[in-house]
Structure 1
Amino acid sequence: MATVRLWDPLLRVCHWSFALVFFANYFINEEGEDWHQWLGYYAVGCLLVRLVWGFVGPPSARWADFWPTPARLAAHARALLRGQSFHRLGHSPIGALVMLLMLSCIAGLGLTGWLSQEVDALWGADWPMDLHSFLADALLALVCVHLLAAVVESLRLRENLPLSMLTGRRRLPDDH
């Protein structure tokens, strides 16, 4: 079975950093604690690196490679509804959409987390913390969708997709 190097080390470090920071800040650290704040800043730093890497990184990391256009999303949805194979080396269109939503939540968490520390500047407004909590819960839901999809697609494609995010290698589709 032929494999190809797909996920570069920087992309994998960002991915696993997001996972670890989210787990730590959602389940372990209390809001407002120093660790919560510093890990949040680290996640925003990873997000900025990932955004730039989407323009200058290798082809599989580039936004143009997997941007979920309406046509790509429709083709992927049609294939799923028909039970047809839809094997891409990189993110599937629906997977890319979920990934972009997760990155948006991370950006929103960074902004609202920072704003919630600047309460005096906002005259004691509660909305930054309320929005921060909502975004954290939304990200948890998206992470669950992401994990479930990784398991389902691994079974469907007979390929360990989470392992590919550890090793950086992915099995080539049969038609390559």
Structure 2
Amino acid sequence: MDRAARTTVRLWDPLVRLFHISVAGVFFANYFFNEAGDDWHTWLGYYAAAWLTARTVWGFVGPRSARWSDFWPTPTRLRSHVTALLQGKDIHRLGHSPLGALVMVLMMTAIGSLALTGFLMQEVDAFWGAEWLENLHRWIANGLAGLVSLHILAALVESLRLRENLPLSMVTGRRRLPPDQH
């Protein structure tokens, strides 16, 4: 076994990876290509909502790296992470960093909010054509686009800073062990 194989561990399980690629694909398709209210937009929204539900449950019953308790962005964790970053210290952590977890939770909240507002606009007669709800849905989608951009930028910056391909770990499910855990 070579050194690289000995220093990597399985981190992201298939459900987490499928959730990630599924909601990323749905968001990209619905934000850039599908017309709001069209059948594809609606059905892909339901698909994303189903994945969000599965991922939420998986956060309680899945493996350690998928569990909310492993990475929930508590004030203490966030403060410690921000302090370390301001001091120029590298944070090598398997799984989400506290700031990464915060952005992930915000993105998941936005996806859930998009699902709810979309459902209300599409399925509840009282909200059919409600301009304020359409504006809210659009505002949330634009906010999610900003969070997605921040997520991608942070993954790239941290990959360069830590000399580790973080996006690749979401594809392969494997990640190098932090230096202090070899």
TM-score interval (norm. to shorter) = over 0.9
Matched, 1:62 2:61: no
Q: How does 1:30-109 map to 2 (within 5 A)?
A: 30-109=35-114
Displacement after TM superposition at 1:124 (Å): 4.5
* 8 Å CA contact retained: 1:25, 1:36: yes
Partners of 1:96 and 1:123 in 2: CA distance = 35
Amino acid at match of 2:101: A
* 8 Å CA contact retained: 1:109, 1:135: yes
| Residue segments in structure 1 that go unaligned for 5+ positions in a row | none
Q: Match for residue 160 of structure 2?
A: 155
* 8 Å CA contact retained: 1:112, 1:132: yes
Distance verdict in 2 for CA 1:45–1:149, change over 3 Å: same
Partners of 2:129 and 2:27 in 1: CA distance = 26
Aligned Cα root-mean-square deviation (Å): 1.0
Q: Match for residue 32 of structure 2?
A: 27
TM-score (norm 1): 0.97
Partners of 2:159 and 2:128 in 1: CA distance = 49
Displacement after TM superposition at 1:128 (Å): 1.5
TM-score (norm 2): 0.94
| Residue segments in structure 2 that go unaligned for 5+ positions in a row | none
Matched, 1:10 2:19: no
* 8 Å CA contact retained: 1:119, 1:125: no
SS at match of 2:180: coil
> Identity of paired residues, percent?
67
Q: Give the length in aligned residue pairs.
A: 176
Displacement after TM superposition at 1:118 (Å): 3.8
| Equivalent of 2:176 in 143, 146, 171 | 171
Runs of 4+ in 1 over 2 A off after TM superposition: 122-125
